[in-house]
Each structure stands twice: as structure tokens, then as C-alpha cells.
Amino acid sequence: MTATPPTAAKITTLVEKLSLRDSVSATEVAALQHVLGAPRTVRAGIDIVHEHSHPQQSTLLIAGFSARYSTLRDGGRQITEINVAGDFIDLHSLLMKQMDHGVLALTDCVVANASHVSLIQLTEHHPHLSRLLCLDTIIDAAIHRQWLVAMGRRSGLGHLAHLVCELYLRLQAAGQADGLTFDLPLTQAMLGDSLGLSTVHVSRLITELRGEAVVQWAGGRIEILDWHRLAEIAEFDPTYLRLQREPV
Amino acid sequence: MPRYYFHTENGGRIRDDQGEDLADLDAAREEAVTVLGEILRYRGAGFWATRSFSVIVTDADGRTVVSVTAQASDAAPSGWTLAEAGG
């Protein structure tokens, strides 16, 4: 049972992440608190947002891991982004209106909704905060670009290493990493659907990464033993995550 | 769903102790070819050092149910001639 955090705690991860990119004022924090409803739990395996639905609200992921995904007729599933605590998983539905993909809870998740009506008001009263939130959806697009490059051209090992580097930096940005250690309670099948690789291959790649002594990976927890080497295997360039502070 | 295990052999042997639950033998065949393709994709010219790569699929009782092998060689497959290759 995932504990439901108190209302005051629900935007901590989001604010922490946004604050890495630009300063967030107390008024803006209050405005974010104001638009978000009560946190609720979504069980692992359940759709948080359905493909082709017309959401009337956008959903903030407060705790847990979710995935943007599309499925093919033969049952094949491709995860196109893994979302972590502090991510608005469908902020784009505010303007896209209809979902072109689904969002699935990979683990038990705690989420909170912001109605589109209240988000529209927020864009009118808080233009700077709106730009910061808009930046987050732009970064989602940048993440999709890097995943496309990885899917098409990286070796299996490079691709897995790239995913580990990315998730570590994103979790760290949201205050969810403990030094170089972080929780990643995803199955090899979920990782396979994220990398476009078979479960068998993913299992081998994890063994290979462990063998290179760059990570310790057991029981859904990863410790990066050698960041420099991991980043080298991944040819990782963090530019796309836009983790530097520059005013928007 | 039956569980199948996907072992590989390319000079070194890697045993699959985890296995994967799949609908039927055809699904296991499909997975075997996928695994072969994925692993070979970035082997490059280094594949000529080992020349052969196999995925061997066993069932829960350890019996081999299917296998698939890719070969690298400096010669054409036996019986192949350019003249009969069409085009």
C-alpha cells in the first residue's frame, strides 16, 4: 500500500525539478498547489490516461513510475517515455485535447489532477510559471528524440546504459536519488518494452553492465559504481534534459 | 503458458535460468529469431571470429524444443552459385 502524501508534499518533486531550471516564487508554488486536487493511488498495471481519451484534466505523477506507450495489433507494446515523480504525465492534453498514446502505471503510483479549466487560468495569471511548465513538455519532446536515436542507432548495451543515465539524472533532479543510488522497480519485460528489445536480451545486457562493474543492479535498486564509464558506454550527453538554471 | 529458456552459444555459452512465459512453441520460435537478430545486430565483423551463433530453446524439463543458428563464412553456402542466383 503506497501511503498517500499530505497535500503540502504533493508538488515537492515537481518544484524541485522546476527550480533546477529557473527560480520558482512562493506565489507560483501556491498557484501550483491551488490547481492540483487531492492525491490518489493508481495500482500498477492500470492506465492512468487512456489512449484516444479526451482528458478534462492533466495528471501530475507524485510518486512511482509510469509509462507513455502505444500498442500494436499483435500485442506488441512500445514504451516511448518512462515518467518519474514530479512529471506531469499528460500536460500536453491541455492543448492536444485527444491522447495519441496511453499512460500506464508501471508501479503503484500516487497522482493528482489539475483540471484544464484551472490550468488555463494559471496560464493567464502566471505567465512565467506557464513557460516553465511548457518547458517541461518541450523536454519530453527532447527525451523522445534521444530515445529515437537510441532505438535506431545505439548498441543494446549503449541503449540500456543511456536509459540508466537518463533515469538517474531525472530522479536526482526530482530529489529521488540517494547519492548515486536509486530505485528502479521495473521488470525486465518493462525495460524490454522501453528499449524495443526482448526480455532475454535485456537480461543479458544487465548482466553485461554488472560485469563491467559500472553498476550494481539488484532487487529493483541501482547503484552507479562508475558514472564516467557508464556515461562513456552510453555516449551520454545530458544537454537534452536541460538541467541548468537559465531564466525562461 | 509454458515457460521457455533461451540459451546462447557463440564460442562462450550463456545459460538462461530465468526463462520466459510464452503462448506456444511458435511464440518461442519468434522470440528465438528476435534474440538472434538483436544480439547479432551489433556484432559487426567480429562475428567472423566465432563464425557461428545459436539460440537454443529448452522447455521447463530442460528438453531442447527448437534452435536457430547464424553462420559466418568466407565461402558461399553449399550448392550456391552466382549463375543460379537469378537477378
Give the best residue of A151, A195, A198 to mutate against chain B (max B CB count within 10 A): A198
In the predicted structure, residue B42 carries a pLDDT above the cut 80: yes
Contact A155 B6 (CB under 8 A): no
pLDDT band at residue A10 under the 50/70/90 scheme = confident
Contact state of B42 with A155 under an 8 Å Cβ cutoff: yes
Instruction: Assess whether pLDDT exceeds 60 at residue A144.
Output: yes
Nearest alpha-carbon partner for A215 in A162, A171, A151, A170? A162
What's the pLDDT tens digit per position in A173-212? Answer: 999 999 999 999 999 999 999 999 999 999 999 999 999 9
> So what's the pLDDT on residue A2?
46
Q: What percent of chain A is predicted at pLDDT more than 90?
A: 95
Would you list which residues of chain B are within 8 Å, Cβ to Cβ, of chain A?
6, 8, 14, 16, 18, 20, 31, 34-35, 38-39, 41-42
- Percent above pLDDT 70 for chain B: 99
Give me the architecture of the A154-241 domain, per CATH: Orthogonal Bundle (1.10)
Residue B49 lies in a domain: yes
Tell me: ipTM over 0.90. Answer: no
**Superfamily covering domain A7-147:** Jelly Rolls (2.60.120.10)
Q: How far is B55 from chain A (nearest CA, A)?
A: 11
pLDDT at B55 over 60: yes
Q: Which of B33, B3, B30 is nearest to B18 (CA)?
A: B3
Q: Is residue B83 part of a domain?
A: no
Q: CB-hemisphere CA count at 13 Å for B65?
A: 20
Distance CA B8, CA A89 (A): 39
Question: Considering only alpha carbons, which residue of chain B is nearest residue A74?
Answer: B27
pLDDT band with cut points at 50, 70 and 90 for residue A8: low
The ranges of chain A annotated as CATH 2.60.120.10 are 7-147
For range B65-82, the mean pLDDT = 94
- Quick check: is B77 in a domain? no
Burial (CB count within 10 angstroms: exposed 0-12, middle 13-18, buried 19+), residue B28:
buried
Q: What's the whole-number average pLDDT of chain A?
A: 94
Given a contact cutoff of 8 angstroms between Cβ atoms, the answer to whether A64 and A126 are in contact is no
Amino acid residing at A199 = T
Identify whether B56 is part of a domain. Answer: yes
Please give the pLDDT value at position A7: 54
On whether the CB atoms of residues A71 and A10 are closer than 8 A, the answer is no
Chain A residues with beta carbon closer than 8 angstroms to that of B41: 155-156
Whether A75 shows a pLDDT value over 60: the answer reads yes
CB nearest to B14's CB, from A188, A199, A204: A204
Average pLDDT over residues A14-32: 96
Residues spanned by the domain of B41: 3-72
Domain presence at residue B34: yes
Buried b (16+ CB within 10 A) or exposed e, A59-82: bbbbbbbbbbbeeeeeeebbbbbb
The pLDDT score that the predictor gives to residue A74 is 84
pTM equals 0.93
Closest approach of chain B CAs to the CA of A122, in angstroms? 47
Number of structural domains chain B divides into: 1
Within-domain flag for B79: no
**Inside any domain, residue B65:** yes
Q: Where in chain A is the domain with CATH 1.10.10.10?
A: 154-241
pLDDT at A48 over 60: yes
Q: Are B67 and B55 in contact (CB under 8 A)?
A: yes
Interchain CB contacts (distance < 8 Å): A and B: 26
Of B18, B34, B42, the CB nearest to A198: B34
Q: Within a domain: residue B84?
A: no
A154 near A233, Cβ under 8 Å? no
Higher-scoring residue by pLDDT: A233, B86: A233
Judge whether residue A3 has pLDDT over 50. Answer: no
CA–CA distance, A60 with A12 (Å, rounded to integer): 11
Angle between helices A156-173 and B25-41 (to 10 degrees): 90
Give A247→chain B minimum CA distance, Å. Answer: 42
Residue predicted with more confidence, A1 or A113: A113
- b/e map A162-177, b = 16+ CB within 10 Å: bbbbbbbebbbbbebb
B10-32 per-position pLDDT tens digit:
878 889 988 999 999 999 999 99
Q: How many residues does chain B have?
A: 87
Q: Say whether pLDDT at A16 is over 60.
A: yes
- Rounded to whole angstroms, the Cα distance separating A89 from A180 reads 25
Report the C-alpha gap between A189 and A211 in whole angstroms: 21
Lowest mean pLDDT among A2-16, A100-114, A129-143: A2-16
Residues of B in contact with A201 (CB under 8 A): 35, 38-39
